[in-house]
Amino acid sequence: MSEPPQLPAVHEAFLPREHSLHRPRHGRRQLIALVSALLFFATPTLLWVVGVRPGEIENHKLAGFPSLADGFRFFTGLPDWATDQLSFRAGAIDAAGGISRGVFGEEPPLDQGSAANSGPIPAPPLQQPGAPKNGPSVPSLPGTSQAGYRNVVQGLDGWLYYGYDAEAKCAPAQDVDTTMKKVDELRAAVEASGRKFVFVVTPDKSTMVPQFLPASYPGKDCSQAASANDWYKITTEGHSLDLRPELAASAARVGRPIYAPNDTHWRDEGGLVLARTLANAVRPGATDSWVSAPSGQYDAVADLPLLLGKTGVKTNTMYTLRPDGVTDRASEFLGNIDQPVHRSSPPLSGTIDRRTLIYGDSFSLASSRYLDAAFTNLTYLAYSTEKTPQAQAVDQFVNSEVVVLQAVERNVSGGLVPFTDDGFIKSVKTALAQHPIR
What string of DSSP letters covers 99-161?
HIIIIISS---TT-S---S-----PPBSS-TT--SSPP--PPPP---STT--SEEE-GGG-EE
Q: Is residue 130 part of a domain?
A: no
The overall average pLDDT reported for the chain is 83
Cα-based distances in Å from 90 to 85, 113, 150: 11, 20, 20
pLDDT for 122: 54
Domain that holds residue 240: 152-434
pLDDT for 129: 37
Whether the per-residue pLDDT at 237 is higher than 60: the answer is yes
Helix, strand and coil percent figures for the chain, each rounded to 5: 40, 15, 45
CB–CB of 322/148 below 8 Å? no
Q: Is residue 359 part of a domain?
A: yes
Q: Is residue 277 part of a domain?
A: yes
pLDDT band of 149, cuts 50, 70, 90: confident
Report d(CA 118, CA 230) in Å as an integer: 25
pLDDT tens profile 370-415: 999 999 999 999 999 999 999 999 999 999 999 999 999 999 999 9
Q: Is residue 100 part of a domain?
A: no
The total number of structural domains that make up the chain: 1
Whether the per-residue pLDDT at 135 is higher than 80: the answer is no
Report d(CA 93, CA 82) in Å as an integer: 16
Which position has the higher pLDDT, 18 or 147? Answer: 18
pLDDT for 34: 73
β-pairing, 402-408 vs 377-382, is unpaired
Q: Is residue 355 part of a domain?
A: yes
pLDDT for 113: 45
pLDDT tens profile 296-331: 999 999 999 999 888 899 999 999 999 999 999 999
Q: Is residue 123 part of a domain?
A: no
pLDDT for 133: 38
Whether the per-residue pLDDT at 143 is higher than 60: the answer is no
- Determine which of 143-147, 169-173, 198-202 has the lowest per-residue pLDDT on average: 143-147
pLDDT tens profile 258-303: 999 999 999 999 999 999 999 999 999 999 999 999 999 999 999 9
What string of DSSP letters covers 283-320?
STTGGGG-B--EEEEEEEE-SGGGGGT---EEEEEEE-
